[in-house]
Amino acid sequence: MLGLVGLAKWYGGWLAKRYGIGENELSLRALVAALPFIFLLVVFIIWLFRFSIQPKPKSTKETLEKIKFA
């Protein structure tokens, strides 16, 4: 997550230098310029939820088998 914050800070500075889009600017060109970062953020959030939620065993038998082979 810290890497994404650093990437956002760098990207914001690059946009300001290259295209003159400030950090507090709200416009269509600012939205279009932010789309690549927004896409990366959405992919990261989906990845985070996809791999952090583990299915729970449905029965005692499955729980015992999971403990037995752990």
Query: Each residue's pLDDT tens digit in the chain (70 positions)?
Result: 677 778 778 888 888 888 888 777 778 888 888 888 889 889 988 988 887 776 665 677 777 777 776 5
pTM for the model stands at 0.54
Amino acid at the residue 34:
A
Could you state, in order of their start, the residue ranges of all structural domains in the chain?
Answer: 2-68
Helix, coil or strand: residue 48 = helix
57 touches 63 (CB < 8 A): yes
User: How large is the angle between the packed helices 28-52 and 2-19, nearest 10 degrees?
Assistant: 170
Q: Which residue has the tokens 């600012």?
A: 30
Secondary structure of residue 54 in the 3-state scheme:
coil
